[in-house]
Amino acid sequence: MSGRHAHRAVRSRPHRIASLLAALGLLSASVALSAASQEASAATSSAVTVSKNVTRTHLIDGADVVADTRTVTVSLDVTKDLRDRQPINITWSGARPTGGVVGDVNSSLAAEQEYPVVIMQCRGVDDPSAPTAAQISPQTCWTQTPTERYISRNDDFPAFRLDRYASPADRVSKAGAPSPTPDACAGLSSGTDHWVPLLAADGAAYYGGPNGCAGLAPEQLQIEGQLQPSNTTYGTTDTSGNGAARFTVNTSDSNASLGCSSTVPCTLVVIPVMGISCDAAGAGLPITDQPPAKFRALYQASCAATGNYVPAEQRPITQDTEETAVSGRLWWSASNWRNRLSAPLTFAPPSDICDVVNTQAPSYLYGSQLMRQATLQWAPKFCTDPTLFKIQHVQTGEPQAKNLLDARTIEAALVAGPPDVPFSRPVVQAPVAATGFAVVFSIDDKQGHPLASLRLTPRLLAKLLTSSYASNPTISSQYTALSGNPLDLGTDPEFRALNPTTLNLLYGTEPASTLFTISSDSDVISALTSYINADPEARAWLDGTPDPWGMKVNPNYKGISLPVQGWPQLDSYVSPYFTVTNLCMNGNGVPWLPLVAGPVSDPSFVTLNMQYSIANSQIICRNPGASNQKLVAYGRETPGQRFLVGLVGLADAARYQLSTAELQTHVDAAAPAKFTDGAGRAFVGPSDDSLRSALSYLKPDVGLGTWPVPYSVLRTNPNASSAYPGTMLMSADVPTSGLSSQDASRYATFLDFAVAAGQTPGSANGQLPAGYLPLTAANGASAFVAYTQSAAAAVAAQQGYVPAVDGSTPTPTPSASSSASASVDSSTPTPTPTPTPTPTPTPTLSPKGTTKATSGGAASSSPSVAATTSFSPVTGTGSGSASATPAATEATSPAPTDVSIVATGLTSLVGAGPMGRAIPGLLALALVAGLGALGLVLWDRS
């Protein structure tokens, strides 16, 4: 007893020291963590609010007459570390209400509103102390069409010529005109002009002018197309002075003429248009620039006009009756320009920084577009760190990446699920991120405001995918199989029951009858169809049972076996009516519903289209009757009349701020089949909580080697009703044998980074962007992290060992069977084949070849995993494989081991056998036989 106490007393001193150290360690760790979190939170709160007093002050008879004065306050939600096409939400208050409202605030027509709030992106800084070339000016602000920077009037002295704040050079008759006048513009402009050239980042000046005759920048358009709209926004202020808009910034990636980037500063400029501050006298100007004295009062009155529209009045479609003096087209005038509010913008390093900074051959990761946003932030961290290496994510469909990995063409794949056929080589599937798919929507209600939330069931998704909506009245009347079905999602009673908001019924019905998604094979489609298949109502409907409102599945999809990797377009109905009326289809009828579906192969394109509400149904005939007629996409839907539903990844939806729908998870047994609202049904949208809840239901499957998503459990378990069913666990698949030691250690480093430092949320290099749930213990992901770390060790060791996902196999000792493909020769002394076996052929010249060229040639000091490439020399008869396949190597790995001497096998014995001695044998035979014959003859003669 005393011994034990004594033992404890002896131990207590070091024990105390240890606990003290532990406490200190904890303290410092917590301080560091809080500092880091503060830094992270400081980084995210880059919102800016600016306020300014804006006025319209006329100069009448030498005295200031204040016509209007307001205090405008503008708020932006993010201004730092911006990436291309990132939205900034802007709100303002205190501005003058807009008249002649145009629905599409990004169109050039919106410039003709009265008193808009013009929001544009300008190159430069808004700092008078900066050099002039670095400051913003109307010439460095981006507008897409020439009419937004050029105006012409038949008056001698329109309002913009009487601007009291304009410089004398700006008050001439043809202010800013290019000199000499370009030939294309000859005779096009008469009267009073004002030109504002666009100064591109490379110094070129594009004058634009009437019909763009004096030259347009490459990104400008003469006529707005159906594609990506300009980001110049003519925001609308309501009668209480408030307004909101979403502004999409463009970096030099998508707008090289504007040229904003991490090295070229830009500013967001908000101009609350108050109208021209007029000066009809023009004292001090040359005589030609002064209005004649007798008309001075008339010009003053017309310049000081306050507008033709009642505040918030809609602009009629055809008329062009806004008051020029207060029009948004004069945003560049000095009166309006001096009223601007501005906020500096900073941009994240461009996506191609790695190509510029680091010219090494990269380690390639082929795979899922869902990981694109993460690798965009992770890759710059790797390539700008001289102790690390370059990684590059090559976007590939996940099933294709798995096939390439199995065929040894690539070395690492980013995928979202196990392969259909298990890998034929030891490959570890290490979780690196938790994300998922989202159904995003762009739907406007009757007032023209976008819906904020949407609820969808798997059966609705099945209806959209299977082309079961008729899409337009002609098809509905002619295609008998779909005659009893609603035209589109918006008129489906099931949809109306769940989403009762009244919609603006002017939307196009064709794009509203399909889910815009990808045509190629993808794990995302597998996940979506697994989710649909796990719902009994959707499954029954797909098998032919009509839904409670009588809608039936398209017979071409009836009984379709799910899940599938690529969604097939099976409908083959050719409409005789459209074949005649749509000239592009005249004479060569193609099935109509697949055109309506219009899937694309690149998931990034889906994201782009959903961001700008561009419908991809290929049903519009361009240049009908001409020789170059073709079917083109439906195009951009008019804001206020949109109805689009698409499938994107969660990271894309978060980056571009797309609205995500809530998906049905659990249905109470008591919920009615023919429902009128969502009672008894749970709907969950993607969020950190719902992803965390879904992750908790993932169970390891030793046979598959990963954690498959249990769709049936998520559907049937009532406790899983808050789990987001679109959750997907992204894995990095890396083989654990057959890689060179350098590649193996690089991928191991990547795996270790991905589950540790790479899971810190944020927008800086090396952090995890929004749309991914960080894999941390707090989110219940410690099992994934531990597995990936052991996977990293297995990849580095390259012993062919794949840890079991449930942790059930022990780690082998390093002296276990080497991974090199040495096969013992079972040769016999009689001729054995292949004394010099051939090396392992790679089916194609993979990029691996070039990597090795740079790394293997020089005697590089690669970390010594050379232990794996040495093997015991095979005894005796050598190492050629008796089967003589080309894969029988000379007992060497294909890796360059330029430093260590490798023990190689022995040449086998190949003898010629008795036939080898044929010639001497024949000579001997001849000798013997000749002697014998001679002897016989002599004997005979004697």
Partner 1 sequence: MTITDVAVPVEQSVATELLEGEPLPTGRRARRLGEEAERITTGRHARRPIGSGRGTAAWVLAMVAFLALWFALYAIALTPFQQSRQQAVLYNTMREQLSQQTAPLGGAVKPGVPVAVISAPSLGLVDLVVVEGTASGDLMAGPGHRRDTVLPGQAGIAVIYGRAALFGAPFAGLAAAHAGDRLTATTGQGVFTYVVEDRRRAGDHFPQPLAADGSRLTLASAEGSGRFGDLSPTETVYVDLRLTGKTQPSPSGRVVQVPVAERAMQGDPSALLPLALALPLLIGSLVFVVWARARWGLWQTWLVGMPLVLAALWAVSQAAVQLLPNLL
Round to whole Å and give the CA distance between 482 and 469: 7
Give the integer Cα–Cα distance in Å for 523 and 565. Answer: 6
For tokens 């007029």, name the residue: 278
Cβ count near 296 (within 10 Å): 18
Q: What H or E segment, with its residue span, contains residue 92?
A: strand 87-93
What is the contact surface with partner 1 in residues (CB under 8 A)?
740, 831, 833-836, 838-839, 841, 843, 845, 849, 852-853, 856-857, 873, 879, 884-886, 890-898, 901-913, 915-920, 922-923, 925-930, 932-934, 936-937, 939-940
Distances in Å between the Cα of 669 and the Cα atoms of 459, 534, 672, 673, 718 are 17, 16, 8, 10, 10
Minimal distance in Å, beta carbon 861 to partner 1? 16
Which strands, in side-by-side order, build the sheet including 174-175? 150-153, 192-195, 174-175
Burial of 632 (0-12, 13-18, 19+ CB in 10 A): middle
Check whether the bond before 914 is cis (ω within 30° of 0): no
What amino acid is encoded at 822 in this protein? Answer: A
**Residue 111 Cβ, how far from partner 1 at the closest point, in Å?**
57
Nearer to partner 1, 183 or 940 (CB): 940
H/E segment holding residue 60? strand 48-60
DSSP at 574: P
Q: Which is nearer to partner 1, 668 or 898 (CB)?
A: 898
Shortest gap between Cβ of 828 and partner 1 (angstroms)?
13
Report, in Å, the least distance between residue 539 CB and partner 1: 45
Q: Which is nearer to partner 1, 681 or 848 (CB)?
A: 848
Query: Cβ 406 to partner 1, closest distance in Å?
Result: 18
Amino acid at 252: S
Quick one: 212 or 894, whose CB is closer to partner 1? Answer: 894
Q: How far is the CB of 745 from partner 1 (least distance, A)?
A: 17
The Cα–Cα gap between 92 and 238 comes to 10
- Nearest distance in Å: CB 383, partner 1: 23
Q: 169 vs 915, which CB is nearer to partner 1? A: 915
Other C-beta atoms lying within 10 Å of the C-beta of residue 344: 16
Structure tokens at 88: 């900034």
Q: Is the Cβ of residue 324 or residue 855 nearer to partner 1 in the bound state?
A: 855
Q: How far is the CB of 878 from partner 1 (least distance, A)?
A: 8
Tokens of 15: 């024990």
Between 243 and 896, CB nearer to partner 1? 896
Comparing CB distances to partner 1, the nearer of 147 and 862 is 862
Least distance to partner 1, CB of residue 855, Å: 9
- Judge whether 597 and 468 are in contact, CB under 8 Å: no
Report d(CA 847, CA 941) in Å as an integer: 85
Least distance (Å) from partner 1 to the CB of residue 886? 6
Q: Which is nearer to partner 1, 335 or 869 (CB)?
A: 869
Q: How far, CA to CA in Å, does 775 sit from each of 109, 720, 728, 780, 791?
A: 48, 20, 13, 8, 16
| Four-residue CA torsion sign, 767, 772, 776, 781 | negative
By C-beta, is 653 or 888 nearer to partner 1? 888
Helix residue spans in 717-798 (DSSP H) = 741-755, 782-797
| C-alpha dihedral, 513 to 516 to 519 to 523, nearest 10° | -120
Nearer to partner 1, 386 or 920 (CB): 920
Identify which of residues 541 and 871 has a Cβ nearer to partner 1 in the complex.
Answer: 871
- Taking the complex as a whole, the smallest distance from the CB of residue 355 to partner 1 amounts, in Å, to 24
User: Minimum distance from CB of 413 to partner 1 (Å)?
Assistant: 21
CB of 826 to partner 1, least distance (A): 16
Place of tokens 């002018």: 209
The encoded tokens of residue 765 equal 């290099």
Crossing angle (nearest 10°) for helices 741-755 and 847-856: 110
Q: Please name which of 433, 600, 585 lies closest in space to residue 514, comparing C-alpha atoms.
A: 600
Residue with Cβ nearer partner 1 (162 or 888): 888
Distance CA 864, CA 866 (A): 5
Q: Side chain identity at 390, as an amino acid letter?
A: K
C-beta of 921: minimal distance to partner 1 in Å? 8
Least separation in angstroms between residue 838's CB and partner 1 is 5
Cβ proximity to partner 1: between 566 and 873 the closer is: 873
The helix or strand, by DSSP H or E, that contains position 356, with its residue range, turns out to be helix 353-357
Rounded Cα distance between 555 and 677, Å, is: 28
CA angle 172-174-177, nearest 5°?
Answer: 125
Any idea what the Cα angle at residue 640 is, between residues 636 and 644, rounded to 5°?
50
CB 492 within 8 A of CB 460: yes
CA 171/CA 162 separation, integer angstroms: 7
CB-nearer residue toward partner 1: 223 or 912: 912
Q: Where are the alpha helices (DSSP H) in 499-591?
A: 523-533, 536-542, 576-581
Least distance in angstroms from the C-beta of 254 to partner 1? 37
Residue 101 contacts residue 314 (beta carbons within 8 Å) = yes
In the complex, minimum distance from the CB of residue 923 to partner 1, in angstroms, rounded to a whole number:
5
Nearer to partner 1, 611 or 862 (CB): 862
Query: By C-beta, is 314 or 854 nearer to partner 1?
Result: 854
- Angle between the N-to-C axes of helices 741-755 and 782-797, in degrees from 0 to 180, rounded to the nearest 10: 170
